[in-house]
């Protein structure tokens, strides 16, 4: 069994970004996901590639840039039994992200209605590891890249 050290955590999350909550439309969320893979290269992934939680997203990488998103679902927050539902362009969603991305980092659009002064991301990871150890990882199918050879 391997142990995760603070050095491992800081190596993975070296910038000390804070977590903020932003409000965005489903249409803006789609645009954000399309941008995430517009220049994706499997052998040299860019920092703009988003990793998600509470969402399921699928891209067809054989399609042209900005037309690759084939499925975008979000965890229902009103449902008693957890389930994913299609993102609607006209709906408004609250997302948690880093202050860096919310302010337009890595070329993303600046988010509107952003909370201020959230927790530092590496502190959240340390708390999670302490609370959930031993961690049992599973392949959840949150991000699917179709058509990559």
Handedness of CA 105, 108, 111, 114 (dihedral sign): negative
Number of structural domains, the chain?
1
Range of the domain at 47: 16-118+141-146
pTM of the shown model: 0.86
CATH number at residue 87: 3.90.780.10
Q: Round to whole Å and give the CA distance between 61 and 24.
A: 25
| Residue 52 domain flag | yes
Do the domain assignments include residue 3?
no
Confidence bin at 1 (pLDDT 50/70/90): low
The closest of 112, 95, 117 to 18, measured between CA atoms, is 117
Q: What is the pLDDT of residues 44-91, one digit of tens each?
A: 777 788 989 999 999 999 999 999 999 999 999 999 999 999 999 999
Length of the chain: 149
Instruction: Report the candidate in 70, 55, 66 with the shortest Cα–Cα distance to residue 24.
Output: 55
The answer to whether position 110 is within a domain reads yes
Spatial separation of the C-alpha atoms in residues 44 and 78, rounded to whole Å: 39
Please indicate, yes or no, if residue 129 is contained in any of the structural domains: no
Tens-digit pLDDT profile for residues 89-146 = 999 999 999 999 999 999 888 888 899 889 999 999 999 999 998 888 887 888 999 9
């Amino acid at each position: 069994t391997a142990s995760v050290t603070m050095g491992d955590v800081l190596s993975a999350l070296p910038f000390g970004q804070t977590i903020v909550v932003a409000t965005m439309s489903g249409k803006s969320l789609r645009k954000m996901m399309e941008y995430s893979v517009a220049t994706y290269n499997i052998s040299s992934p860019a920092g703009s590639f988003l990793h998600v939680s509470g969402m399921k997203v699928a891209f067809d990488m054989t399609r042209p840039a900005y037309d690759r998103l084939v499925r975008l679902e979000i965890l229902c927050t009103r449902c008693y039994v957890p389930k994913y539902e299609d993102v609607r362009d006209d709906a408004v969603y609250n997302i948690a992200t880093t202050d860096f991305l919310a302010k337009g980092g890595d070329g993303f659009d600046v988010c509107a209605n952003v909370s201020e002064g959230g927790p530092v991301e590496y502190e959240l990871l340390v708390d999670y590891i302490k609370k959930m150890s031993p961690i049992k990882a599973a392949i959840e199918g949150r991000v699917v890249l179709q058509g990559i050879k």
